[in-house]
Structure 1
């Protein structure tokens, strides 16, 4: 049951508490058995946790024996907020604990009882029970135990510890035993488990158990999600059919299942999901599952992972998705690869469908150790799991097996644009970073209300429908960006949530590197480098805009200095600004941890004055951008692609000036004021001759739009820059805007170009193109939030009515954070 939610810890409305006591005990494996109900919009079932006390958890016994005045109430939590660390003690008053038999009893003195604290939110927990793993005969055989020990609880401790410690070479056996244990009966003749839920946590204890080492090692929790829970999104796809998916919420998965949220809590998992037979279940599992029907007509989908990952990486999407069929396996490019249906990262000794849930029925769970190892010198420094980097077949796999799913209305675009790009992006990533960390990849086009262009999880990427429009550059670079997250953000993650955007910096950099690799066959090295400089200039301009519109506290790595991200004795902490709905729309990306290694590798740089302290001072611990970077970035403005754009700006400004009617003032040359144009005076004379010819001095000729006799072909990045430059101009005529749209076919360009076009339309109140703005707000919700603000700030009645009309039409389909931001702008 839930109680006293109004008294829960709320250090700041924007800060997110992490309550799990990960310094005391860790979840090593989850087994989920869930059903999806689209009528009630509820996911319900059970989750089994396999626990291991931390080696340093013996400190807990000392903590538990401390006096109440020393440690505060049972629910006290040390968190760090503001400029310094401080303890915040919360009291829930007379609590009600819940027995596994659902009988409410008054909470007794629990000052000496150990409490397992799990992160959760918006979950209805009905029962928590201890699982008797001693009844699993194959697990007992693992320890070669011929009889039941006198102390069966201690016997179960040893069994679970041995199960957790099975070496990765026997991962199949371990997975099978985890599954068998999860189905074992509840322990009897033991003290029942008590549990309590508040706004941010599930707390479980066993009367008389005073340390994590004596706490039960296997628990089963029965629960249901709530339709309003923030971890999953119940909505309709672009075909109007029901679907649900994890949406990358600020609270991650704690409204999907009780878990340990901090990134240090690494675990494996296995999940069985029951859904109606017409639905497809996609998950972030290693295997490509083939579902099995049950007696009710539903399908069971089984997924699992053997690589320990944070609970936040667990991903699910259930909908009437359709697979985009590929001919890539038969293409010339794929001839060197094993057919997609046969590929796998562990010796390729089973089919790509890999229905592991049935494998245990067909063969003994005791499999021989995996072979095909690389040279003995090859090793990794991570914890033991079946690592792809130690198998030759995986190390040489340039393109991993991949699939694309989409609603039926987007199948053709996904087939013509997205699917052909995937193998090139995967191959480019391999050429730069080497072995793919994950064995396969699904890509799903998610509903229009998705809040970003893409989101990467292990083995699955969500993409917005916005990437399917226009030129392939946006789709390709976004794919490259999300694939880069396989290395930076997933296989390698931030130490804690205060460094959550470190991976974003790597992915942003690598997307340009990967895309340059793909473009090598189409352009020379020099041209490729010029395009990278063009992209760098766009990133630089965007960063400057974000800095101008971001709070200073969001521009530093650790807003609370040394206390940021610190944890209490139990492992609990808070995440600054995690619940700030505006944070995803004002992201200042930064890098940090690689700096020390970089300087250690190249010590000469330190002798030249580049020190870690200097970088921290200039970049990470103070807001704004160092002045020298702004000066250095000016070189990007002089690259040939940018020069072409700046020349086009002058042409369009001449045209806009010449098209204006009804004024008798002297027509001087147009005042071009965009920021990168100071040096354009040198080319002005040649430009006006180019545009208007020798008769430039004739005033009548200024009004002749047909004089614009030549327009350069610009790629999407150049178009974005052109429109950004034009956005800095105070005036553009309606006829100029009309010709601009028809010349470059802006309505058919990618979402980045269309976004700038909509900004121009709004700024200059070009009513003939308001329909373009409306379409963008409907179909490109991942990028539309900023436009709502522009529509309102213009203080134009027609534009404000347009904003309100669009919000009213799509409010129910919008991402929660995006909707909150827009409502604050409009309502």
Structure 2
């Protein structure tokens, strides 16, 4: 099994393991402050004496640490570790060094770290109340509360939250207790997560939040002004996705599956916080065409949340398996042809990413050190190259159903645990002993998959989707002037195509060095439903195409898209094109950033600033 050693964490998880966190949080919006009292119970892993407990902590003001049962104060100090973390060293007196288990009470004040996104009411959809949400992945929850901030370490947790009565609070917990009114008029909420999880999956949101049912074990939460739209988008399909996942991968163990539609600044398409997935409002397009994001986040219920990568260096164990699981669910519900079409758009994203990523980030097993912030390694590699690797493993077996059975057994074997690639490979050959030796097949060595930078050695066969991909490719060839007039396709057919077929068409334009601005002007006139769409996936690609072609007449649309949302997957590629584009594009990059820098998440802001700094050199 995965060892707790983690270059991104300074906690001494080789000596202690947490068994439960309980935190009492008090949220004060006016001061952007979260006061906390944490009761941390740990068990000793070693037989010898332990002189100190070391926790991950960053941008937290630790006030006091006591021994829970007798109130003895403990000495502590905070030491440097990395730019994204500090080490909280807690000295243990001789009377505690031989204890197998102890509970500490840590009093602290937080709220300024990168786990927190405090939004003014003007930054919300309803503009009624300010809003707070936390984001833990990858290593941000060390700014939320002192902890073992490593995916290799799992524990149960519980929390109470005190807050002013006008706010509602939700958390990523399996059990929620109705709020109670306190003597001072505020409300107190109680949450319990009874399943062990790594701390990056602890999440909180507070604001003007209401909910509606979308299935027998699911609700959607959002601001009131978006509730009807969100309910219509997700009602029914959520349970359909869960049931299909259960049939393929085993029982859904988390009791509830709720969705929280976030404010526009949320940096991800979705964050798989257990029992309460956070999703971007860009999914609310009215036709359910982007609900595959929910399919993806539900798939994390087995791959990522239940079986977790033991190190951020092997993030593909979360995301590559989840991409494969998502596409298995998609195949079962929407057919092989549509799934292959969707997968083709993912592979296209990977190929574009590989053009500019540094070599280390194109490995499945990224080289990490304390100097490398895991959040800086975010890219398509663990998702799509990881999907290619899992698809390769599937190709070694005789059918989808055989590999489904393996995945069920894999989940059963490693549920509630964290794993490394060695654990996966060992179990793979235990399950398929007749395949022993394929790990050394020339050109497809498992070590090459994990450690060699660049393109995957294998791409899955997507030919089943050609009835959808070929027309899109032919139409793109026509617009690029690569078809004779007598082979002209039906130019108007595009309007009736499903979203992913439109995306595949745009992907063919995007691989060109540039499409002439005059051609883009004609495209915009011919296809106003492309240039004027509210669908974020289409807007991303159209924005990239217009920047590369320097179609300045549409730059106002690019800017509007950047102002409307803060999703990392959309924002970073657009800025990358802008800073490498014309003088007008570079100017737009500076203008857009100046207008959005206080609205977007800190993670995204830091990445944009690096791109702008490189542009100015």
Asked if TM exceeds 0.5, the reply is: yes
SS in 2 for 1:489: coil
Which of the residues 551, 567, 573 maps onto 1:786?
A: 573
- What whole-Å deviation, never above 9, does each CA across 1:284-306 have from its counterpart, x for those lacking one? 11113210000011100001122
- What whole-Å deviation, never above 9, does each CA across 1:332-372 have from its counterpart, x for those lacking one? xxxxxxxx5xxxxxxxxxxxxxxxxxxxxxxxxxxxxxxxx
Are the counterparts in 1 of residues 579 and 611 from structure 2 also a CA contact under 8 Å?
Answer: yes
For 1:638 and 1:318, the matched residues in 2 are separated by: 43
For 2:9 and 2:125, the matched residues in 1 are separated by: 35
Gapped regions of structure 2 (runs ≥ 5): 1-5, 81-85, 390-420
Alignment length (residue pairs): 558
- 1:259-658 matched pairs, under 5 angstroms: 259-323=147-211, 325-326=212-213, 340=216, 401-469=217-285, 471-474=287-290, 476-519=291-334, 528-559=335-366, 577-579=372-374, 581=376, 583-585=377-379, 587-589=381-383, 590=386, 592=421, 593-606=423-436, 614-626=444-456, 629=458, 636=463, 639-653=466-480
Are the counterparts in 1 of residues 60 and 110 from structure 2 also a CA contact under 8 Å?
Answer: yes
For 2:485 and 2:374, the matched residues in 1 are separated by: 54
- Say if 1:614 and 1:297 are closer, same or farther in 2 by CA, change over 3 A: same
Q: Give the C-alpha shift of residue 275 in structure 1.
A: 0.8
Calculate the TM-score normalised by the size of structure 1.
0.63
Q: Return the structure number with greater relative CO, CA threshold 8 A, min gap 6.
A: 1
SS in 2 for 1:473: coil
- 731-740 or 481-490, which deviates more: 731-740
- Say if 1:38 and 1:434 are closer, same or farther in 2 by CA, change over 3 A: same
Calculate the TM-score normalised by the size of structure 2.
0.84
Are the counterparts in 2 of residues 537 and 636 from structure 1 also a CA contact under 8 Å?
Answer: no
- Say if 1:536 and 1:198 are closer, same or farther in 2 by CA, change over 3 A: same
For 1:289 and 1:794, the matched residues in 2 are separated by: 53
SS in 2 for 1:472: coil
Are the counterparts in 1 of residues 138 and 200 from structure 2 also a CA contact under 8 Å?
Answer: no
Q: Give the C-alpha shift of residue 638 in structure 1.
A: 7.7
Give the match for residue 345 of structure 1: none
Is 2:130 the counterpart of 1:242? yes
- Say if 1:262 and 1:790 are closer, same or farther in 2 by CA, change over 3 A: closer
For 1:611 and 1:535, the matched residues in 2 are separated by: 29
For 2:590 and 2:438, the matched residues in 1 are separated by: 56
Give the match for residue 126 of structure 1: 63
Is 2:487 the counterpart of 1:687? yes
- Say if 1:709 and 1:410 are closer, same or farther in 2 by CA, change over 3 A: closer
SS in 2 for 1:291: strand
For 1:646 and 1:198, the matched residues in 2 are separated by: 57
Give the match for residue 98 of structure 1: none
SS in 2 for 1:748: coil
Q: Give the C-alpha shift of residue 541 in structure 1.
A: 1.9
Give the match for residue 396 of structure 2: none
SS in 1 for 2:108: strand
Give the match for residue 204 of structure 1: 90
Q: Give the C-alpha shift of residue 579 in structure 1.
A: 4.8
Q: Highest CA radius of gyration, 1 or 2?
A: 1
Is 2:610 the counterpart of 1:795? no
- Say if 1:433 and 1:746 are closer, same or farther in 2 by CA, change over 3 A: farther
For 2:16 and 2:243, the matched residues in 1 are separated by: 41
For 1:538 and 1:811, the matched residues in 2 are separated by: 30
- Say if 1:250 and 1:604 are closer, same or farther in 2 by CA, change over 3 A: closer
Give the match for residue 150 of structure 1: none
Q: What's the C-alpha RMSD, in Å, of the aligned pairs?
A: 2.7
Are the counterparts in 2 of residues 641 and 718 from structure 1 also a CA contact under 8 Å?
Answer: yes
Q: Give the C-alpha shift of residue 545 in structure 1.
A: 1.9
- What whole-Å deviation, never above 9, does each CA across 1:222-241 have from its counterpart, x for those lacking one? 110042x1222212422333
SS in 2 for 1:777: helix
- 1:185-264 matched pairs, under 5 angstroms: 186-187=70-71, 192-199=73-80, 200-209=86-95, 212-214=97-99, 217-227=102-112, 229-236=113-120, 237-240=124-127, 241-264=129-152
Give the match for residue 764 of structure 1: 549
For 1:821 and 1:720, the matched residues in 2 are separated by: 26
For 2:428 and 2:67, the matched residues in 1 are separated by: 49
- What whole-Å deviation, never above 9, does each CA across 1:230-272 have from its counterpart, x for those lacking one? 2222124223331111123542311111111233432222211
Which of the residues 36, 54, 66 maps onto 1:45?
A: 36
Which of the residues 738, 743, 752 maps onto 2:524?
A: 738
Q: Give the C-alpha shift of residue 615 in structure 1.
A: 2.7
- 274-283 or 801-810, which deviates more: 801-810
Q: Give the C-alpha shift of residue 122 in structure 1.
A: 0.9
- What whole-Å deviation, never above 9, does each CA across 1:671-694 have from its counterpart, x for those lacking one? x3xxxxxxxx7xx57514x67xxx
For 1:609 and 1:25, the matched residues in 2 are separated by: 35
Which of the residues 747, 756, 777 maps onto 2:562?
A: 777
Are the counterparts in 1 of residues 289 and 499 from structure 2 also a CA contact under 8 Å?
Answer: yes
SS in 1 for 2:307: coil
For 1:39 and 1:543, the matched residues in 2 are separated by: 43
- 235-244 or 777-786, which deviates more: 235-244
Are the counterparts in 2 of residues 650 and 687 from structure 1 also a CA contact under 8 Å?
Answer: no
For 2:153 and 2:433, the matched residues in 1 are separated by: 35
Give the match for residue 720 of structure 1: 503
- What whole-Å deviation, never above 9, does each CA across 1:295-327 have from its counterpart, x for those lacking one? 01110000112222222221111111121x23x
Q: Give the C-alpha shift of residue 795 in structure 1.
A: 2.3
- What whole-Å deviation, never above 9, does each CA across 1:545-572 have from its counterpart, x for those lacking one? 2222211112224455xxx7xxxxxxxx
Give the match for residue 416 of structure 2: none
- Say if 1:544 and 1:710 are closer, same or farther in 2 by CA, change over 3 A: closer
- 439-448 or 642-651, which deviates more: 642-651
- Say if 1:420 and 1:779 are closer, same or farther in 2 by CA, change over 3 A: farther
Are the counterparts in 1 of residues 229 and 284 from structure 2 also a CA contact under 8 Å?
Answer: yes
Is 2:611 the counterpart of 1:804? no
